[in-house]
Structure 1
């Protein structure tokens, strides 16, 4: 009997070790696959083949990044306490920006509306690749349902997240992570709203664009036998 129990314990430990070893982290997947992707994508864009460039990015996401475990990054939150990814119990929608890039008209109000609507089932995070002082003229535009964060090469502790995301995926980029911190989707987005577009129309257009993306990702982030509701 004792021998049988010892054998079972051994097998359980072996299975546990194997399971842990098979976890692929987002940063490792990026590190292992980014060079061939960049080589091919640079060639495509040099040839002005935008369609091929986008196809290569989508392929990288679908075959190498979706399903990986997102790293437990520590994020500096503007005028709030720092937050670690693993301490957020809900799915997470991350958008990366830079303060020196103009955010399209209507985009921030649309994100504010969506963050309020999804406050119970989704955490919105915007990450600016800037120093804290660079955010003073823009952070206040986001409502309290959105965590406004910043990361920059200037801060030594930001080297990992900057190297993993900014220097590889570029920006603006969105990353959707489920509640277990698995990557559901990564996307380059381009808001094509023109400057002269009326503000209400711009907000509606941005809202529809992000809402469709968010709801599809939320559905994809839960088991098929579970229901899904929005507020």
Structure 2
């Protein structure tokens, strides 16, 4: 009975919260729905119903978060000035990590390949929830074409982005945002890290996950050109 009540409460929260003329921002949609999602999700995981947990996450993303306008976050750049997301005039693949977690063996190479494949059509941004001094070894794994950023609770200006992105959907999470800052897709980066997994297998797993995030929007774009491929 408890499970049915939580599920019903969560599903009812998917009624429209905005008028058609208003702009639905990602942070507002998340704030309005995260409590009911957490209650239903926690109940599912307490019962080890992992399929239900995934379904609840997918429902939250599909019915409440996709289509919202991503907030104009400003985040500190590791080897650059502050990165203002609204100033990036192309689609963004935003990946959030924690530096204390072991990255999947194939993640950095896969993201580097995508950055090389779509230099004009995609900007990859990675946010580590940590201080700058803890990122040296990790940051050096990524291409210079990728914007490496960081945010931490000890920095007063980072409170909003941490509250919105870190303490809600979990770590690591990946977002695909179009050139108009509309949320197109959200997924969790599954931890496939296994010490004995081959590099090729790890690369394939990671590449497929990130590639699926940006497709179909970018699979119709010819790499390096920005021209639609009609073939």
2:31 and 2:38 map into 1 onto residues whose CA distance is 11
- The CA deviation at 1:193 is 4.9
In the comparison of the two structures, how many residue pairs are matched?
206
Structure 2's unaligned 5+ residue stretches are 1-18, 225-231
- Matched residue, 1:83: 83
Whether the 8 Å contact between 2:70 and 2:177 is mirrored in structure 1 is yes
- Matched residue, 1:102: 102
- Matched residue, 1:127: 127
Structure 1's unaligned 5+ residue stretches are 1-17, 220-226
Question: Which contiguous aligned blocks of 4+ residues in structure 1 show a shift greater than 4 angstroms?
Answer: none
Whether the 8 Å contact between 1:185 and 1:217 is mirrored in structure 2 is no
- The CA deviation at 1:87 is 0.4
- Matched residue, 2:39: 39
What is the RMSD computed on CA atoms of the aligned residues? 1.6
- The CA deviation at 1:59 is 0.5
Whether the 8 Å contact between 1:184 and 1:217 is mirrored in structure 2 is no
Max Rg structure: 1
- The CA deviation at 1:116 is 1.0
Question: Residue 228 of structure 1 aligns to a residue in which SS?
Answer: coil
1:81 and 1:141 map into 2 onto residues whose CA distance is 20
Which region of structure 1 is more displaced relative to structure 2, 185-194 or 140-149? 185-194
Which region of structure 1 is more displaced relative to structure 2, 190-199 or 98-107? 190-199
1:99 and 1:186 map into 2 onto residues whose CA distance is 20
1:204 and 1:49 map into 2 onto residues whose CA distance is 28
Residues 13-24 of structure 1: pairs in structure 2 closer than 5 A: 22-24=22-24
1:81 and 1:88 map into 2 onto residues whose CA distance is 13
- The CA deviation at 1:194 is 2.8
Whether the 8 Å contact between 2:102 and 2:193 is mirrored in structure 1 is no
1:30 and 1:96 map into 2 onto residues whose CA distance is 17
- The CA deviation at 1:213 is 2.7
- Matched residue, 2:164: 164
Residues 169-208 of structure 1: pairs in structure 2 closer than 5 A: 169-208=169-208
Whether the 8 Å contact between 2:176 and 2:213 is mirrored in structure 1 is no
1:129 and 1:145 map into 2 onto residues whose CA distance is 20
- Between Structure 1 and Structure 2, the one with more helix by share is 1
- Structure 2 residue 81 is matched with structure 1 residue 71: no
- The CA deviation at 1:214 is 2.1
Q: Calculate the TM-score normalised by the size of structure 1.
A: 0.84
2:126 and 2:164 map into 1 onto residues whose CA distance is 16
1:193 and 1:134 map into 2 onto residues whose CA distance is 21
Whether the 8 Å contact between 2:29 and 2:68 is mirrored in structure 1 is yes
- The CA deviation at 1:201 is 2.9
Residues 191-229 of structure 1 deviation map (CA, whole Å, 9 limit, x = unaligned): 42532122233223322332233223536xxxxxxx633
1:162 and 1:211 map into 2 onto residues whose CA distance is 26
Question: Residue 167 of structure 2 aligns to a residue in which SS?
Answer: helix
Whether the 8 Å contact between 2:186 and 2:213 is mirrored in structure 1 is no
